[in-house]
A and B are shown apart, each in its own frame.
Chain A
């Protein structure tokens, strides 16, 4: 088991190394021949053995956990999921062929499809930089449920999301309450969840479970270190400078105040004279 896992990872790591060497050696080097994939386990209650191309790649994968990005050679791969400990000869609970394009960076989630059957869905992950003070929130519908709407702090952030679809938002970093309702409106489908979206992160929120079974809920993967530093630190207005050439704004202010007072006085005098 360990040998297989090691070989699986070794292939990915080596392919990466080969690509990096090629890229530096020649400008016409071929594009990367690997993709990176986070594997997310969204099948509640199932401790799984995940096979890749017949090899046990992820033994005893606990539900509602996710892997770090795994480098996988570009191309088609057969993914099989069995209950943990089941013999490799046993019929899998799920078999699906996954095509990994070269350079792919994303997530692959095992979850219940809209029809309630387990399936795999892939998403490209936007892990580009996030503006200072903010966080990226990507909501993905990976549940046996109809179209849903998602609210952050009661605001309709995602008005309608169909099964398999995703929606990305940039929000101010901080605490939020996440609620999910049917897209057509109605009572929450799951207990509203208090979360913290940290600054400079991307959070991939997966709605998992089954509406019919009352097991809808959230799994999430947070990607850190996407922050942008503040653009500038401005900590002075020069208002106490006395030895610089050029007018001091406070001196100007005083002059203007004096002029205004003088004008006002003049106007008052004229008013009296004209009887206005």
Chain B
């Protein structure tokens, strides 16, 4: 739901050539509070004050205009220390901010459409998915359908690609009903919507308590490419009608 917030500007004066203005980077209180452990005198610099109007066409010559006494001491220290030469400083990086050219352009990726795990006889179609109303991975009520977390990487791209499927649903065994039996070293084939295949080799098979699967690196967006196949496992909780654990098979590009 949209909400409105006035621009965080305490004071803005003029901008015409040779005339100095003042703008304060006074910020949303919530943002600031999160980022500092104790408030104290840190709010002092937010008081905007005008700069003495210039007397010459070269209005500003003093390099340092740190205002408050609170800020002066440590800054002065670091400024003196910074005079010592160092070779590890990064340049200021800039990015294209042109909408539709440099930013906010959709990136097309080849989506997985089929997974085959030969030794456990698991073969199933894959559809992209998001979250349901509860913020959980949305999985259709079809034991034979697999889903791919479409906001994460596609299998083989950097990060952790997640494909999940039912263990069982409405009396039907799921594609992944024997996922826990997948042997390490198994070669899994993923077919993509552009028709090509990729092979992944299983490196680990784990059983983890829920909801650890969501909190661990299962949904990582970066790092080496891994494929994670997920289903349910462990004890079935008859009170919640859910299994207590997730089976996670981790595989890497062959």
**B99 touching A31 by the CB < 8 A rule?**
no
- Verify if A229 is at the interface (C-beta below 8 Å from B): yes
**B168 touching A240 by the CB < 8 A rule?**
yes
- Chain A residues numbered 113-148 whose CB sits less than 8 Å from any CB in chain B: 113, 117-126, 128, 131-133, 140
Which one of A18, A91, A96, A165 lies within 8 Å of B17 (CB-CB)?
Answer: A91
Q: Which residues of B contact A131 (CB under 8 A)?
A: 135
Q: Give complex CA distance A15, B213 in Å.
A: 39
Report the minimum CB–CB distance from A212 to chain B (whole Å).
18
Report the minimum CB–CB distance from A99 to chain B (whole Å).
4
**B71 touching A74 by the CB < 8 A rule?**
yes
6 residue pairs of the A-B complex, CB under 8 angstroms, read A54-B62, A75-B67, A78-B20, A120-B23, A173-B130, A198-B151
Q: Give complex CA distance A91, B136 in Å.
A: 58
**B21 touching A95 by the CB < 8 A rule?**
yes
Binds A, one of B48-56, B116-124, B186-194, B195-203: B48-56
Taking Cβ atoms with an 8 Å cutoff, the residues of B that contact A are 1-10, 12-28, 30-32, 34-40, 42-43, 45-51, 57-68, 70-72, 74-75, 77-79, 81-83, 86, 89-100, 102-107, 130-131, 134-137, 139, 149, 151, 164-174, 176-177, 210-211, 213-215, 218-219, 221, 230-232, 236, 238, 241-243, 246
Chain A-chain B contacts (Cβ-Cβ < 8 Å), number: 403
- Chain A residues numbered 51-65 whose CB sits less than 8 Å from any CB in chain B: 51, 53-55, 57-58, 61-62, 64-65
Q: A18-B74, A99-B24, A161-B4 are in contact. Are A232 and B210 (CB under 8 A)?
A: yes
**B99 touching A97 by the CB < 8 A rule?**
no
Q: Give complex CA distance A132, B136 in Å.
A: 8
- Chain A residues numbered 159-204 whose CB sits less than 8 Å from any CB in chain B: 161, 164-170, 173, 175, 178, 193-200, 203
The contact string, 1 if C-beta is below 8 Å from chain B, for chain A 237-269, is: 111110010100010000000000000000000
- Verify if A33 is at the interface (C-beta below 8 Å from B): yes
- Verify if A20 is at the interface (C-beta below 8 Å from B): no
Residue in chain A with minimal CB distance to B19: A95
Q: Which residues of A contact B5 (CB under 8 A)?
A: 165-168
**A104 touching B27 by the CB < 8 A rule?**
yes
Q: Which residues of A contact B170 (CB under 8 A)?
A: 237, 239
Q: Which 8 A-B pairs have the closest CB atoms?
A: A124-B27, A75-B66, A236-B167, A199-B151, A236-B232, A240-B168, A196-B106, A76-B67
- Verify if A25 is at the interface (C-beta below 8 Å from B): no
Q: Which residues of A contact B137 (CB under 8 A)?
A: 230, 232-234
**B78 touching A18 by the CB < 8 A rule?**
yes
**B93 touching A67 by the CB < 8 A rule?**
yes
Q: Which residues of A contact B221 (CB under 8 A)?
A: 200, 225, 227
Q: Which residues of B contact A19 (CB under 8 A)?
A: 74
**B15 touching A118 by the CB < 8 A rule?**
yes
**A31 touching B60 by the CB < 8 A rule?**
no
Q: Give complex CA distance A73, B64 in Å.
A: 10
Q: Which residues of A contact B166 (CB under 8 A)?
A: 235-236
**A219 touching B67 by the CB < 8 A rule?**
no
Q: A235-B174, A236-B167 are in contact. Are A123 and B236 (CB under 8 A)?
A: no
Report the minimum CB–CB distance from B126 to chain A (whole Å).
14
Q: Which residues of B contact A113 (CB under 8 A)?
A: 12, 15
